[in-house]
Structure 1
């Protein structure tokens, strides 16, 4: 069985634990956790299906082990000094890594996303993500818009202006797929975004959802109450159909009871 460093090399193309989390060596504990969060979201098994799920699961489990080391001062110090890890003693082999991940990162609500969006939009982090996306996608705006977190069609003019300034200053290459993009492709992207927004709105209305988590809570409570009413009605129908005594039997029972009381 391969050790952690060998596994990292096979799955992530590097045996440097910091590179696996995409963070520098002098990262703070907060940066280590944030790096783990971002990479684990990218490879989380729930995001893929089929043959890719097995590899995603292995990556997800490996990231948890990397985080165990880099989030512990003593384990991290030993790794920084020797470049080695103690696979047998330092890393639990039978941990439920999904539960561990959930302990570290609570479930995200609609309000959490809105708050993060306010902090992320037009931040240095968004600029860094946009630059990476532009270079990796070689200027293809379809891919860029998919790669940058929370990007919408409304962000496209802003992104385009930023990228043009980078090209002008020599910060990024001038890819033909960006500079020579046809109006037809841009229009297709906008139509696709409008269609997806309409479908999302229809789904929200169909589910009775508003703009906050309170709406989701109300929907759950509404469904719960509806199910309870249906169950009450169902039980009432059963009682009416099967719970009443048959004709003639009631009289006999009453007579029998009275007889018993008389004899006493």
Structure 2
């Protein structure tokens, strides 16, 4: 079965850009970020044993999709003809996609996240990402909040202000889903955020940790080691 057929079967779309959640005009960096985000969601070491086989298949397909869209020649052919070079050695199903993924994306620390967040928030890149998410999801704040990097529920008003200002300036259209979002939907999003915060607090207490950045770092490192052990076992 060809790559496009696999994408249709597994992800519900034969559009490679849609599979990665990026627009057709996406830059190389946007394609890379899209691949990173989606592949993290289906990474084999993040699911239970009953879903492992399906996750591996999805992970492999995503690797092949990224290989096409990250290669200028293959992407040009796909954009023009809607086809991919199925016989390309770079698309081989036997390729070690886990090793390929690790080469692309190094492990990140809490300090890396904080440094990125500090430069990203308020930047032109963030503004562009928020406006693009608004366009892609037709003003649906649930999806916008999920898609945009580093935006927590407590910052929703900031994201809304950015969108509203862009709409007032005529940079983006006014979508009904945004302008007339129901209070029920807003409250549901708030409840989800509160539940996630409670789960995080519960985990912290179960681990017997005090609040603080050093303890948060310890939790992250501990989880990274656990995931690494699981992945090493999986690869073996």
TM-score higher than 0.5 here?
yes
2:104 is matched with 104
2:213 alignment partner, SS class: coil
Cα offsets for 1:76-126 (capped at 9, x unmatched): 677788754142644332233233312321222212221222233223443
Decide whether aligned partners of structure 1 residues 197 and 89 sit closer, same or farther in structure 2, where only a CA change above 3 A counts.
closer
How does the TM-score come out when normalised to structure 2? 0.63
CA distance in 2, matches of 1:200, 1:26: 34
- Partner residue in 2 for 1:87: 87
- Structure 2 matches for 1:37-186, cutoff 5 A? 37-45=36-44, 56-71=55-70, 83-87=83-87, 89-134=89-134, 139=139, 141-170=141-170, 171-175=172-176, 178-179=179-180, 181-182=182-183
**Residue matched to 2:233:** none
Does residue 33 (structure 1) correspond to residue 35 (structure 2)? The answer is no
Per-residue CA deviation, residues 218-259 of structure 1 (Å, 9 max, x unaligned), is: x96xxxxxxxxxxxxxxxxxxxxxxxxxxxxxxxxxxxxxxx
Aligned match of 1:216 = 218
Alignment deviations for residues 195-233 of structure 1 (CA, whole Å, 9 cap, x no partner): 54354245335433641489518x96xxxxxxxxxxxxx
Shift of 1:14: 3.0
Equivalent residues, number: 215
Highest relative contact order (Cα 8 Å, sep 6+), 1 or 2?
2
TM-score (norm 1): 0.58
Give the aligned CA root-mean-square deviation in angstroms: 4.3
| Greater mean alpha carbon deviation, residues 109-118 or residues 203-212 | 203-212
Greater Rg over alpha carbons, structure: 1
